[in-house]
Amino acid sequence: MLNINRLSKLYEVYNLYRLIDGLRSCLSPDHFQITSSTTREDELIDRISFSNSLFTVRLYYEPRYYQSDRAGSINLRRIDRNSFTTGSYYCPDFVIEISNNSNNDSKFYVLDAKYSKVQTVRNLHLMEVVKKYVLNTGVSGKKNAKINELTILFPGDTDFSVVASEHYEPNIRAVASKPGKEGNLNIYVRNIMARNIPLFLMVPVSEDDVNPRHSLE
Domain 4-198 in CATH 2.60.40? The answer is no
Region label for 67, one of left (φ > 0), alpha (ψ between -120 and 50) or beta (otherwise): alpha
* Whole-number pLDDT of residue 4: 57
Q: At how many degrees (to 10) do helices 4-26 and 182-196 cross?
A: 50
Query: How far apart are alpha carbons 23 and 203 in whole angstroms?
Result: 10
Contacts of residues 20-23 at CB distance under 8 Å and 24 or more positions apart, as own/partner, are 20/45, 20/48, 20/59, 21/186, 21/212, 21/216, 22/185, 22/186, 22/188, 22/189, 22/190, 23/48, 23/50, 23/57, 23/59, 23/189, 23/193
What are the residue ranges of helices labelled H in the chain?
4-26, 118-120, 126-130, 182-196, 207-210
Q: How far apart are CA 174 and CA 91, in angstroms?
A: 18
- 215 phi/psi in degrees, rounded to 5: -150, 150
Q: Which pLDDT tens digits describe the chain residue by residue (217 residues)? A: 445 578 999 999 999 999 999 999 999 999 999 999 999 999 999 999 999 999 999 999 999 999 988 877 899 999 987 756 656 899 999 999 999 999 989 999 999 999 999 999 999 999 999 999 999 999 999 989 999 999 999 999 999 999 999 899 999 999 999 999 999 999 999 999 999 999 999 999 876 655 654 433 3
- What span, in angstroms and rounded, lies between the C-alpha atoms of 178 and 155? 5
The CA distance from 169 to 148, in Å, is 5
- N- to C-terminal Cα distance for the chain? 26
Predicted local distance difference test score (pLDDT) of residue 215: 39
Cα torsion through 130, 131, 134, 138, rounded to 10: -160
**Host H or E run for residue 150:** strand 149-154
Helix (H, G, I), strand (E, B) or coil at 193: helix
pTM of the model: 0.91
The helix/strand/coil state of 205 is coil
Question: DSSP per residue over 55-112, as a string?
Answer: EEEEEEES--B-SS--TT--SEEE-SGGGGSTT--B--SEEEEEEETTTTEEEEEEEE
